[in-house]
Amino acid sequence: MKKHSRVGSRLAIGLMFLFLYAPIILLIIFSFNAGDSSAVWKGFSLHWYSRLFQNRLIMESVYTTLLVSLLATAIATVAGTFAAIGLYSLGRRRREALLTVNNIPMMNADIVTGVSLCLFFVAFFQGWGIFARWFNSIQSMVELPERLVLGFGTLLLAHVAFNIPYVILNVAPKLRQMDRNLMDAAQDLGCTWLQAFWKVMLPEIKPGIVSGALIAFTMSIDDFIISYFTAGSASSTLAMAIYGMTKKRVTPEVNAISTLLFLSVLTLLVLSNLKEVRQESRERLGTARKLSALERARQKFAEPRYLWVRRGLAGALVCAFVASVAFLSYATSSRPVVNVCSWGEYIDEDLITQFEEQTGIRVNYQTAESNEALYSLLKSGGADYDVVVPSDYMIGRLIAEDMLEPLDYSQIPNFSLIDDRFKYLTYDPDNRYTVPYTWGTLGIIYNTAMVDEEITSWGALYDDKYAGNVLLINNSRDALGAALMYLGYSVNTTDEEEIRQAYELVADANRRGVFQGRVMDEVFQKMEGGNAAIATYYAGDYLSMVDNQAEGVDLAFVIPEEGSNWFVDAMCMLKDAPHQREAHMWINFIASTEANLANMDYIWYASPNRLALEQYPDYYEELYGEELDQSVYEIMAAPPETLARCEVYLNLPSETLNLYKNLWTQLGVN
């Protein structure tokens, strides 16, 4: 071949690697950042690594990811190999037809696979529920579980389902290359079929099996979308945990876990490459080179008389793996649990630890993005929660659709501490289902460094002056509610014309490029970092943003002159919740004055607990040694005259809900 200068091509390859690795290197550098930003360097620290190992969500999801990838790879490799062997003994036409079906999961978009599997599992669970009820009613020997939900099992099945095709695809060519008579010859010479398979076929197709397993494992580790739709709420992979975190405040813990993952993969890769390189050089040098002690030991170990040692070691490793999995799953399943679903940045996490220490009940704490997303999660059968914390209007909807279980208030003595203003509210007129968690107001948060006037009206959200710097709140009720208030309508209007006008206001601003994005808890990072000027969000969150605002950012909060919404978020228990006793204990614990004070201090939302609300200024003074600013307290716990300007969201009739849903989908389209 013609020799020519390779400088240019190497430069291009180098540039591509720079592109591939620059983000990863930055990720690694910022894992050692002393500050909590991924963009501003504040000095070296290993702080995030120690935090990482205390972060149960991340550590558990790493465990789930590894476990599901390893198990799915193992199952898919065995099943796929045998399936490939079976397929290759079929006639050509049938084989090709089956291989086409085999290709479907690989060719299909991940989201289609994920969605269809999710629908399938849910349909199956419904069928199973009917069967189990019938089966349990005709006999009493075996009690079948009546309620199945998405979880680790479905996650594993889905991973196996999309991994098998890759294994088949890799094993098939090796089978095609193999001489079919070999197997017959071996059997003619007296081998049993199993021996022939083990001694003849397996060595031939081994490279295909190995590369198939490797690709299956890679796909499992890299997958997010299929897991997202099939894992349900109980188990989450690392990717799902990170996706959840990017919707909130991302801390460099994510960088730390990325660094660790990257380094461990790098080490594995270097080791395997070294082995290959050494093997090659050995082949080149023949036996001339003196073997190192390690290699001599390895060679000795490979001798046939050590066969039983090798087999024993492999067996022991497998047993250890199985035993540790079994032990861990036993350890987690034998302890009483309560599954809680709340919002992001919405609890002092020390409370979870306290509750676990006091009661021995494990709290599986998950978050949803918005009331509407929570509703989707519950409806799609993916949720296995006991306690949820929806807002007023959504509680109304859940009660209307018979999705909540009445509470036993005798198990919740702390309910008596709730201020009377927050009992028997419109969403739960007989107060049978709910214990209030927090309350607060919706308003406009703006960065006075980027906005040089005082904002007093919702109109600022739709103003071209701030184009590209306004954040639209990502839930239909609040986004359209603000527009309705700006237009002077009630937030609870059922008049289609009024709602459409409000939609048009938002959609028009969207078309003009006023909105930088649609956010829920991403708002923290955007506003604190000065990446956006104006947002609609909740009063309590404004106060926690002020606590974390970057240099040069000066946030202000206003309840616009047109009025606003005030809300109550309350704890309720889902229908047929599996852990009802634990759920009551959790609700009672959270309703206590101490927990409410801790929460108020941590999340800055007002407490519905009468004592906590009164005592908070003193609590604050004792804790920080300075007086709580009255204006801060009033933003947190809006005084009656402010509340008088605010309206509560009510549950809407189903036609209006449908309209909201359709308009909300439409909004993204434009």
Partner 1 sequence: MKNKLSWFAVPYVGWMALMVVIPILIMVVYAFTTAEFEGTLENFAEMGSYASVFLRSFRLALVATLVCVLIGYPVSYWMAHEGPGFQRMAMALIMLPMWMNFLLRTYSWMSILENNGLLNQLFRNIGVIDLYNQIAPFFVDLRNAIAAHFGAAQTNFVPIEYFELIGTPGAVVLGMVYNYLPFMILPIYSVILKLDSNLLEAARDLGADSGRVFRKVILPLSLPGVLSGVTMVFVPSVSTFAISRLLGGGTQMMLGDLIEQQFLGGAYDPHLGAAISMVMMVIVVVCMVVMNRFGEGEGEAVIL
Stretch 38-57 residues interacting with partner 1 (CB under 8 A): 38-39
Stretch that binds partner 1, among 287-295, 356-364, 482-490, 657-665 (CB under 8 A): 657-665
578-597 residues near partner 1, rule: CB under 8 A: none
One symbol per residue from 466 to 505: x for binding partner 1 (CB under 8 A), - otherwise; what is it? --x-----xxx-----------------------------
Residue 232 near partner 1 by CB under 8 A:
no
Distance separating alpha carbons of residues 56 and 387, to the nearest angstrom: 20
We find the least distance from the C-beta atom of residue 67 to partner 1, in angstroms, to be: 15
Contact between 461 and 446 under an 8 Å Cβ cutoff? The reply is: no
Stretch that binds partner 1, among 291-299, 607-615, 638-646, 660-668 (CB under 8 A): 660-668
Smaller CB separation from partner 1, 177 or 246? 246
Stretch that binds partner 1, among 113-121, 322-330, 385-393, 621-629 (CB under 8 A): 113-121
Residue 218 near partner 1 by CB under 8 A:
yes
Half-sphere exposure of residue 403: CA atoms within 13 angstroms, side-chain side: 23
Distance separating alpha carbons of residues 494 and 652, to the nearest angstrom: 7
Residue 390 near partner 1 by CB under 8 A:
no
We find the least distance from the C-beta atom of residue 517 to partner 1, in angstroms, to be: 3
Token pair of 592 as six digits: 């206590």
Beta strands 564-574 and 435-447, pairing class: antiparallel
Residue 19 near partner 1 by CB under 8 A:
yes
Backbone angles phi, psi at 168, to 5 degrees: -60, -45
Smaller CB separation from partner 1, 218 or 359? 218
Backbone angles phi, psi at 238, to 5 degrees: -60, -40
We find the least distance from the C-beta atom of residue 1 to partner 1, in angstroms, to be: 8
Q: Which of 54, 89, 292, 332 touches partner 1 (CB under 8 A)? A: 89
Distance separating alpha carbons of residues 255 and 253, to the nearest angstrom: 5
Alpha-carbon torsion, ordered 527, 532, 537, 538, to 10 deg: 20
Residue 64 near partner 1 by CB under 8 A:
no
Helix 253-285 to helix 47-54 angle (10° resolution) is 100
Residue 557 near partner 1 by CB under 8 A:
no
Distance separating alpha carbons of residues 531 and 218, to the nearest angstrom: 35
Residue 534 near partner 1 by CB under 8 A:
no
Residue 98 near partner 1 by CB under 8 A:
yes
Residue 401 near partner 1 by CB under 8 A:
no
Residue 224 near partner 1 by CB under 8 A:
yes
We find the least distance from the C-beta atom of residue 409 to partner 1, in angstroms, to be: 31
**Count of residues of this chain found to bind partner 1 when the rule CB under 8 A is applied:** 110
We find the least distance from the C-beta atom of residue 236 to partner 1, in angstroms, to be: 12
Half-sphere exposure of residue 196: CA atoms within 13 angstroms, side-chain side: 14
Backbone angles phi, psi at 512, to 5 degrees: -80, 0
Residue 228 near partner 1 by CB under 8 A:
yes
We find the least distance from the C-beta atom of residue 645 to partner 1, in angstroms, to be: 27
Stretch that binds partner 1, among 90-98, 127-135, 286-294, 314-322 (CB under 8 A): 90-98
Stretch that binds partner 1, among 265-273, 342-350, 541-549, 567-575 (CB under 8 A): 265-273
Distance separating alpha carbons of residues 605 and 391, to the nearest angstrom: 13
Q: Which of 180, 206, 335, 575 touches partner 1 (CB under 8 A)? A: 180
Half-sphere exposure of residue 582: CA atoms within 13 angstroms, side-chain side: 21
Residue 309 near partner 1 by CB under 8 A:
no
Token pair of 581 as six digits: 């006793």
Distances (CA, A) of 122 to 117, 148, 162, 307, 380: 9, 9, 18, 48, 7
Q: Which residues of 155-171 are buried (b: 16+ CB within 10 A; e: fewer)?
A: bbebbbbbbbbbbbbbb
Q: Which of 67, 71, 83, 534 touches partner 1 (CB under 8 A)? A: 83
Q: Which of 110, 146, 348, 356 touches partner 1 (CB under 8 A)? A: 110
Q: What letter does residue 44 receive in the DSSP assignment?
A: B
Amino acid at 331: A
312-351 residues near partner 1, rule: CB under 8 A: none
We find the least distance from the C-beta atom of residue 243 to partner 1, in angstroms, to be: 6
Contact between 476 and 660 under an 8 Å Cβ cutoff? The reply is: yes
Smaller CB separation from partner 1, 76 or 597? 76
Residue 23 near partner 1 by CB under 8 A:
yes
Instruction: Mention every residue, 6+ apart, whose C-beta is less than 8 A from residue 466.
Output: 451, 460, 514, 533, 534
Amino acid at 468: G
Smaller CB separation from partner 1, 10 or 289? 10
184-213 residues near partner 1, rule: CB under 8 A: 193
Smaller CB separation from partner 1, 13 or 316? 13
Stretch that binds partner 1, among 126-134, 205-213, 372-380, 554-562 (CB under 8 A): 372-380
Residue 643 near partner 1 by CB under 8 A:
no
Beta strands 404-405 and 564-574, pairing class: antiparallel
Smaller CB separation from partner 1, 250 or 325? 250
Half-sphere exposure of residue 617: CA atoms within 13 angstroms, side-chain side: 10
We find the least distance from the C-beta atom of residue 309 to partner 1, in angstroms, to be: 31
In the three-class reduction of DSSP (H, G, I as helix; E, B as strand; rest coil), residue 647 is classed as strand
Residue 284 near partner 1 by CB under 8 A:
no
Residue 90 near partner 1 by CB under 8 A:
yes
Half-sphere exposure of residue 265: CA atoms within 13 angstroms, side-chain side: 10
Residue 278 near partner 1 by CB under 8 A:
no
Beta strands 470-473 and 515-519, pairing class: parallel
Distance separating alpha carbons of residues 483 and 563, to the nearest angstrom: 11
Stretch that binds partner 1, among 82-90, 309-317, 358-366, 629-637 (CB under 8 A): 82-90
Residue 125 near partner 1 by CB under 8 A:
no
Q: What letter does residue 198 receive in the DSSP assignment?
A: I
